[in-house]
Structure 1
């Protein structure tokens, strides 16, 4: 079985030779002892990419270690009911990477889930810098634990949501499982010292273990986030609403789908795009452009199907006015309301990816 470790210095994913106790990084030349072993499952047969695979390992039972050995060691919430969510908003306050709307994104998303989709508050795990509990701060370790908690013990009929608002990035891929040669990443609060969370890990933690009958939605408001869940298919849609499914299954044959469950991800932009950071006035309450468009599409009654949802989000973002400052992901909510959606459009296009293809204009949208 292929084993991967993160370089202890630059955090690049490295292949660990069979039987080896250490590996030297070709990028920074640091020697890394065995740490964070990541066993990848054997590749499936070509005919099974979009079908339930009963031979694939099922979601781990409660208390079992996650695929990346980050089982919760802190007092996380217990599982409540059939709806569960992890909401993460990171502002990187008082740093040169500071963002203005991400904590507001988290609060707005929680309100939407509770009041529109009947998620119990006790089933929503919030990770923001405002949290006093050290286990609720959006550090790399806590986000990893929260993702494991999200899928732990899930059962058929469960609806899961992962929302993230913060910085996203890319890094070179050296395993050959990315079409563009880059892994997409999320940047936790402590990413400068602890490193980023790579799409391979996100996929292994919340996508691959998902059992039949469970649905997971990811709403990712970050730069370079188009395929940050490493899902096999991307809905390539033009401005007229015509689309086709772009195949992102890696040529290496590494399995990137689920264990029978359904995963659909809305992301703020394509892998090679950045989400715009716009704010008209310092006293204006800001939210992420993508998060705002997602919520507005639902509130306006335009989220009937996944295709209608994606078209509505893109239309809202294209019509957003503001002061463009590339690299972040916040936009002036007040400016959007005052202008009625007129003015300069943001240079980003929300994307839809999934573990299997479907008719986006026929499948009803629901959380």
Structure 2
């Protein structure tokens, strides 16, 4: 029988100035969904969960950068053809300056381990090299990232652009422009302070990125809605069977919210509820229905990126 392996990460950054509320709940909700409805085993040899619960401190299950990298390697090595792998991350996502010059925005996506202030963030380039490159090409990996700036967080070579005419992307740009305008207005109130310098710098950088998108539309997609992503590395030649649902585009933030009184990430909630409504949906349908659940309340636009040019109408396989 094909093996099912899962790695679930949820980081609340409890007690820090970066604290979130719903990320550990996200990991637990995903665990319940995978075990009860998708046939995954909770056995720690098959499912590893990293959270910053106090009892995990000092153990391999505390989500430091070193522990996360070790867990990524566990997930994608030693597998046989036909195995189904799952990776979910709920926590902070950020961006750093792009050293390669291959990103139009000038930034690479990152994720933030619990100790990122001491030991740094994990970049999209590193995530690809640790997670995707070592994979057995005959295994399937499904990724769910519920964090800010997550569209290219694993640098998969193809992204699904369901609206090749740009209407959804343009609407996202308009919403982002209005959001930036509100932020700028807020910075003008209450006078100037040194604490606002970083906010102003970030605002200018995001405004520059947005202007670039208006002036330089996304690359056209093929007849299946797939568009090439541009990376220095030739990730297309790897041909890895990886499917990633991310909570927002590279230049967007992802909401930490509450559903039925329980703190949760908006994307994690929407994905699980979409899959529960119909477990036999295709990848395209899951993306579209997840977007529909989020669009009434949130500006974030979930993304689907893929390791190869595969049939997007096949049912989601977990």
* Aligned twin of 2:145: 220
* Aligned twin of 2:307: 355
1:36-90 superposed Cα distances (whole Å, 9 cap, x missing partner):
xxxxxxxxxxxxxxxxxxxxxxxxxxxxxxxxxxxxxxxxxxxx96110110000
Quick check: 1:90 aligned with 2:42? no
Q: Is the 8 A contact 2:239 2:308 kept in 1?
A: no
- In 2, the alpha carbon distance for the partners of 1:86 and 1:245 equals 27
- What is the deviation of 1:257? 4.3
Q: Per the alignment, do residues 181 and 142 of structure 1 end up closer, same or farther by CA in structure 2, a change over 3 Å counting? A: same
**Unaligned stretches of 5+ residues in structure 2:** 170-222
1:171-222 superposed Cα distances (whole Å, 9 cap, x missing partner):
1111233343211000011111111000111100111122231100110000
Q: Per the alignment, do residues 255 and 111 of structure 1 end up closer, same or farther by CA in structure 2, a change over 3 Å counting? A: same
Quick check: 1:121 aligned with 2:20? no
* Aligned twin of 1:147: 72
- In 1, the alpha carbon distance for the partners of 2:147 and 2:24 equals 13
Give TM-score scaled by structure 2 length: 0.76
* Aligned twin of 1:247: 228
Quick check: 1:103 aligned with 2:24? yes
Q: Per the alignment, do residues 306 and 89 of structure 1 end up closer, same or farther by CA in structure 2, a change over 3 Å counting? A: same
Give TM-score scaled by structure 1 length: 0.66
- In 2, the alpha carbon distance for the partners of 1:88 and 1:203 equals 17
Q: Per the alignment, do residues 120 and 246 of structure 1 end up closer, same or farther by CA in structure 2, a change over 3 Å counting? A: same
Q: Per the alignment, do residues 240 and 94 of structure 1 end up closer, same or farther by CA in structure 2, a change over 3 Å counting? A: closer
Give 1:261-300 correspondences, 5 Å limit.
Answer: 261-279=240-258, 284-300=261-277
Q: Is the 8 A contact 1:88 1:163 kept in 2?
A: yes
- In 2, the alpha carbon distance for the partners of 1:275 and 1:226 equals 11
- In 2, the alpha carbon distance for the partners of 1:364 and 1:299 equals 14
Q: Is the 8 A contact 2:2 2:84 kept in 1?
A: no
Give 1:19-30 correspondences, 5 Å limit.
Answer: none
| Higher alpha-carbon deviation: 254-263 or 347-356 | 254-263
Q: Per the alignment, do residues 81 and 138 of structure 1 end up closer, same or farther by CA in structure 2, a change over 3 Å counting? A: farther
Give 1:263-342 correspondences, 5 Å limit.
Answer: 263-279=242-258, 284-301=261-278, 304-319=281-296
- What is the deviation of 1:280? 8.4
- In 1, the alpha carbon distance for the partners of 2:72 and 2:54 equals 18
**Secondary structure of 2:131's match?**
helix
Higher relative contact order (CA 8 A, sep 6+): 2
- In 1, the alpha carbon distance for the partners of 2:168 and 2:62 equals 41
**Secondary structure of 1:136's match?**
coil
- What is the deviation of 1:286? 1.3
| Higher alpha-carbon deviation: 123-132 or 164-173 | 123-132
- In 2, the alpha carbon distance for the partners of 1:276 and 1:257 equals 31
* Aligned twin of 2:53: 130
- What is the deviation of 1:245? 1.6
* Aligned twin of 1:33: none
What is the total number of aligned residue pairs between the two structures? 258
- In 1, the alpha carbon distance for the partners of 2:248 and 2:310 equals 21
- In 2, the alpha carbon distance for the partners of 1:83 and 1:263 equals 15
- In 1, the alpha carbon distance for the partners of 2:224 and 2:264 equals 28
